[in-house]
Amino acid sequence: MDSVSELIARLRGIPSDRNPVAYHTALAKAYSRLSHHEESMASVERALEHEPSAAEPNLVAARLYLDGGEFERAEAACRRALEGDPDSIAALYLLASSLVGSNRPLEAIEVYRSAARANPQVLILHVLLANLYATLGRNEDAIASLQAVLRLDPHSPIARLRLGDIHVGRGEYQCALQEFKAALEIEPRFTPALMRTADVLLHLGSYEEALPVLRRLLEISDGSPRGRCMLGQALLALGRCEESIDCFQQALGTAPFLIEASLGLGKACLNVGRRDDGIRRLRDVLRIHSDHPDATRILSGLGERPDAS
């Protein structure tokens, strides 16, 4: 029995009348983690029978409705949650998400803007507003929101990270690197900034420079499969094929469906003369992505059928 199932079993052994809202909300969250959505919603409804505007059960309901694409119901649940807890960042985030899902992005923007005006020192509100602007392609507005964060807190790594993301989207890779490196100067163990720095360096072909960044990432993230794969890609590009094979195999050991690792492993095996192993790995790619262009092109170039069989 896994830990979530054990939690449900323990909860069922506790009398629910002591704190029925907390009890049924805890059950709802546990069922949701197991993707038992009907049982989760039933528990939410029992909690709301006792306190209709309780924030936590309404938030669970909102997430369930969002997962099911029921955006109007999600919006209603978020508004009830905000009645119970007007300062809930989670409720504001889910409300904005439901409005975007209902194709009402301007209303979603106003949700964050109003909250940020009322609580200007709550930095996450400005970051969430910037994220929404960026999603809608309003990059200048996103930058303005992030600059507002930096005026309040010049040492915000998340603001630097998001600015870097915007530069990447514009193809301004050197500017992106500056922002990611600034984030790492503030928080050296900030794994998203390490990951993005490595991504940009690989894109620019700066493979030697990427190696220490990726090794630092792996040290901090306890062997992230994607980090291992990226290290393999850098080593492969540098002609260090045997080392890259080790990296790709380690990545696939914990993430067997990581296409980039199978593709890299196939290329590396071919480079060291292991044709059969290389072909097998390229066919693994096609089992996941039946028309992957790189795997198809390489197999065709080898005179092999570009399929998974």
- Tens digits of per-residue pLDDT, 212-268? 999 999 999 888 999 999 999 999 999 999 999 999 999 999 999 999 999 999 999
State the average pLDDT over residues 110-122: 86
Contact 286/295 with Cβ under 8 angstroms?
yes
Percent of the chain with pLDDT strictly greater than 70: 94
Mean residue pLDDT of the chain comes to: 91
Question: Rounded CA gap, 227 and 145, in Å?
Answer: 30
As a whole number of Å, the end-to-end CA separation of the chain is: 37
Q: pLDDT tens-digit profile of 129-182?
A: 999 999 889 999 999 999 999 999 999 999 999 999 999 999 999 999 999 999
Q: What is the CA radius of gyration of the chain?
A: 24
State yes or no: pLDDT of 18 exceeds 80. no
The DSSP line for 127-173 is HHHHHHHHHTT-HHHHHHHHHHHHHH-TT-HHHHHHHHHHHHHTT-H
Q: pLDDT tens-digit profile of 31-63?
A: 888 888 898 899 989 999 999 989 999 999 999
pLDDT value at position 1? 42
CATH class of the 1-103 domain in this structure: mainly alpha
Residue 76 tokens read as 């209603």
pTM: 0.78
What's the Cα-to-Cα distance from 193 to each of 180, 208, 217, rounded to whole Å?
5, 18, 9
pLDDT value at position 28? 86
Contacts of 183 (CB under 8 A, 6+ apart): 157, 158, 160, 161, 164, 190, 193
Q: What residue spans define the domains of the chain?
A: 1-103
